[in-house]
Amino acid sequence: MDGDRSGSGSSKQRKENWGRAFPNNTLRSFKPLPPNSSTVRNSVLARNSVSQVPSSTGAVSVKEKRSFPGKPEADVVVIGSGIGGLCCSGLLARYQQDVLVLESHDLPGGAAHSFDIKGFKFDSGPSLFSGFQSKGPQANPLGQVLDALGETIPCASYDSWMVYLPKDLEKYASANAVREWKKLLDAILPLSAAAMALPPLSIRGDLGVLSTAAARYAPSLLKSFVQMGPQGALGATKLLRPFSEIIDSLELKDPFIRNWVDLLAFLLAGVKSNGILSAEMIYMFAEWYKPGCCLEYPLHGSGAIVDALVRGLKKFGGRISLGSHVEKIVVENGRATGVKLRSGQFIRAKKAVVSNASMWDTLNLLPKEVVPKSYLDRTKTTPQCESFMHLHLGFDAEDVRKDLGIHHIVVNDWDRGVDADQNVVLISVPSVLSPDLAPPGKHVLHAYLPGTEPFDLWKGFDRKSSAYKELKAKRSEVMWRAVERAVGPGFSREKCEVKLVGSPLTHQRFLRRNRGTYGPAIQAGKDSFPGHSTSIPQLYCCGDSTFPGIGVPAVAASGAIVANSLVSVSEHSELLDAIGI
């Protein structure tokens, strides 16, 4: 990631609102629960595919390859090693398919990868997690995949985050807001039984779903509807409608509640409550707001998730090749038959090619002459979420707030909306829970603008130019001010040992995302996410451009759906039996 080391100055500290009275831990002060356990993180490498060179931190780095070694074919070739691609490939290996993952970069994980700078281990993307330890039919999709692969992720648990508002909390979270929040929870938590009735791992993209999901779980579905009663069953019919319709039906008027729900929806899927499926929001509410629930952070960082998925892939004979950049998807006689690497090497896919790239980047991998007009039109007309700004910092922990929590959300102006640019800043300080992410006595921090930075502001800039550096300094200032507010008056920009500023161009370059986008801005009720098969036979897609959409649970589910679709119903059912769902 390109770094900006010119940041200086300070900002006037604005009044903080440390929420301690809002219900169900929404705005409470940080109270960590003890970590479950700790393990030594294993290095993730492509098997028999790269030269291994110790880095200055003791980790193993991977040199980019000029040609693909090993057997140049597989039953299924997966393009990209994001969480969706790794879940898909891991399950395919579990199904005894010969699967090969091709990753352009020298580290797997896509937006979930971790990277080291001067002994500080940074998360590149998501940091808000739950459900790693969950098992059974109602488990988180990623939890079910890990269970199928026989992998676990040691985590630290916590039950709250900090939120900083621009004005007095009482004006926004009044007594009426508390009443409306309770009304919302009372109405939607019973619906979670219906939203979670079908285990994510039971879904497949063909008529076999009638056996693996509908028939298999019909009794539990019926039971959940009976338990909800007539009113609840009526509410369940709204699961595939925008969540805002549930808010409206409850006549919730309080501005804080409306904004807070919009913020949660935006963090989850890149759209506000009028654009997200009710089922997705209700699933999240069940994981975050039921009594006794907690959030989880993987010890050793988000890279531990990637490590676990790669271990599972390799355990069952799957392969991953790093530094293997796919130049194009090869289509012969109308069918996807493999891929061509930048080196010119052809890799044959005997059964399927699965793209974990975005819909726009997948389109660019296809020969123009073979792309059906319907596929082209759908991709080109799908609106995009905006991009990101990132700020990665490594600094001394001595002078900062002693009660510093892991997560902080800074909202500068409720009235502008949570999707307005330069308005909402998310901050993660994971070394609070996993001290090994930073040298002794230090902290590692990741702040970002969550899919609200306009790409057009950056289009055409030379990343080496002074104008680009000036724009980075200007557009990152809102993150610096948010960090100063969250970390406390002892924090000093000048004393930071690591300063990295990432722009939409960084996002585009390092994650190979078209226009650096967060993903498709698909509005529930107006459109739906594409399925996983395509109009080109043997070409499948997984990740945030496919159902169920953006977010870690969603992309994990998408990868599982593709894997399940590529095996027989009997094999799929045997896996469900094996993991007890």
pLDDT tens for 406-423 read 999 999 998 898 999 999
Across 80-224, the runs of DSSP E, i.e. the strands, are 99-102, 114-117, 120-123, 155-158, 162-164
- The fraction of the chain above a pLDDT of 90, given in percent, is 64
Nearest to 403 by CA among 10, 16, 92: 16
Residue 3's identity, in one-letter code, is G
Which CATH superfamily, name and number, covers 53-154+299-381+532-578?
A: FAD/NAD(P)-binding domain (3.50.50.60)
pLDDT in tens, 190-207: 777 777 778 889 999 999
pLDDT of residue 408: 96
pLDDT in tens, 203-228: 999 999 989 988 888 887 777 666 66
Residue 69: asked if its preceding bond is cis (omega within 30°), the reply is no
pLDDT of residue 166: 73
Q: Which residue has the higher pLDDT, 200 or 352?
A: 352
Across 518-581, the runs of DSSP E, i.e. the strands, are 539-541
- Between CA 293 and CA 287 the distance in angstroms is 6
pLDDT in tens, 256-296: 899 999 999 988 888 899 999 888 898 888 878 877 788 99
- Between CA 265 and CA 243 the distance in angstroms is 9
Q: Looking at residues 520-545, what average pLDDT do you find?
A: 93
pLDDT of residue 37: 34
pLDDT of residue 294: 87
Burial of 580 (0-12, 13-18, 19+ CB in 10 A): exposed
DSSP β-bridge partners for residue 326: 341
If you search the block for the tokens 């799929």, which residue do you land on? 572
CA distances from 364 to 326, 349, 377 (A): 11, 19, 13
Contact by Cβ (8 Å): 156, 300: no
Contact by Cβ (8 Å): 235, 271: no
pLDDT of residue 58: 32
- Between CA 559 and CA 563 the distance in angstroms is 6
- Between CA 281 and CA 243 the distance in angstroms is 7
Q: Is 480 helix (H, G, I), strand (E, B) or coil?
A: helix
pLDDT of residue 287: 79
Q: Is the pLDDT of residue 13 over 90?
A: no
pLDDT of residue 269: 86
Q: Is the pLDDT of residue 160 over 90?
A: no
- Between CA 244 and CA 249 the distance in angstroms is 8
pLDDT in tens, 65-107: 445 667 999 999 999 999 999 999 999 999 999 999 999 999 9
Mean pLDDT of the chain: 85
CA-CA-CA-CA dihedral for 488, 490, 491, 497, to nearest 10: -150
Q: Is 461 helix (H, G, I), strand (E, B) or coil?
A: coil
CA-CA-CA-CA dihedral for 116, 118, 121, 124, to nearest 10: -60
Contact by Cβ (8 Å): 389, 501: yes
pLDDT in tens, 28-66: 332 333 333 333 333 333 333 333 333 333 333 334 444
Q: Looking at residues 228-247, what average pLDDT do you find?
A: 73
pLDDT of residue 200: 87
Other Cβ atoms less than 10 A from the Cβ of 221: the count is 17
**pLDDT level of residue 300 (50, 70, 90 thresholds):** very high
pLDDT in tens, 561-577: 999 999 999 999 999 99
Q: Please state which of the ranges 61-65, 96-100, 346-350, 541-545 shows the lowest mean pLDDT.
A: 61-65
pLDDT of residue 228: 60
Contact by Cβ (8 Å): 216, 573: yes
- Between CA 555 and CA 379 the distance in angstroms is 18
pLDDT of residue 545: 95
Who's near 493: CB < 8 A, 6+ residues apart? 7, 8, 9, 10, 480, 484, 499
Domain ranges of the chain: 53-154+299-381+532-578, 177-286, 387-516
Q: Give me the count of residues in the chain.
A: 581
- Between CA 227 and CA 4 the distance in angstroms is 56
- Between CA 71 and CA 435 the distance in angstroms is 41
